[in-house]
Each structure stands twice: as structure tokens, then as C-alpha cells.
Amino acid sequence: MAGFLGDYLCRHLATNAVIAERVEERIYPVIAQQGCKFPAIVYVILNTEPTQSHQGFSGLHNFRVQIISFAEKYKDAHEVADAVLASLDAFQGTQWDGAEVGAITIEEAGIDGYEEAIKVYGVSQAYTIPVNPA
């Protein structure tokens, strides 16, 4: 179930002009490829919560997703994170191959970090993405 979300998420983020220009296709699940160029985006699906109704499983899944925008410069990491926020926050619709996406909400925004080993800044955000697969 979570696998399809990663595919949709990558395609959706790539429609944002800033992300398409600066990150290109460097959007990775769990960890960035070793030796990749920056800026890059890493997403981690933290959990999936199926929604129950009075009749049982409703088909809706609430995914909690962490997205980290990495760049060699602090300002660049924040610009990519701002583009992620613009692309996702409050998005809803059926643009993900017919999957019904409820209003995406940001749960945590702009938590700064620095990865000493690879010398890049990171900005972490967490989102709840409600999806009813097609």
C-alpha cells in the first residue's frame, strides 16, 4: 500500500516549478543515493493508519510522511522546503492516477538539521496525506 504513495508523491512534487528546476529527479525514498548531487529530497513513510467506519474499513488510509529537503547551502534547503510546502499543503483532488487525495496537512514544519558526514543542510517537514486508492 505505501509503495504506490511514494510513486505518486515523487510525480506530484516534480510538477512544482522550483522542485523541477532545482531538484530535478533527485527525490528518494528513505535515504539519498550515495554520491548524489544536491539539492535533493528524501521522503519517509512513517506510518499508515487505515480509517474505520461503522461498516468496517472505509478504504481511506492516512499516511504520515516525513520529507527532508537537503542542500549544500542553508538558504537553498529552505527554498526547496518552501516549494515542497507550496506543492503539498492543503492539496486535494484526484490527480494521482484516480486515487482520491483528501486535504494534505502539514504537521511539523521547518525543523533544521545538518548532516556533517556529507556536509549538507536539511529541513524536515511532516505531513498527513489521506488517500483512498483507485
Q: Which domains does the chain have, with CATH numbers?
A: 2-132 (3.30.2000.30)
- The Cα–Cα gap between 11 and 18 comes to 14
* pTM to 2 decimal places: 0.90
pLDDT band per the 50, 70, 90 thresholds, residue 58: low
pLDDT of residue 39: 98
Q: Beta strand pairing status for 120-132 and 99-101?
A: antiparallel
pLDDT of residue 57: 64
Query: Does 105 score more than 90 pLDDT?
Result: yes
Judge whether 40 and 77 are in contact, CB under 8 Å: no
Judge whether 80 and 121 are in contact, CB under 8 Å: no
Question: Would you put residue 107 in left (φ > 0), alpha (ψ -120 to 50) or beta?
Answer: alpha
pLDDT of residue 114: 96
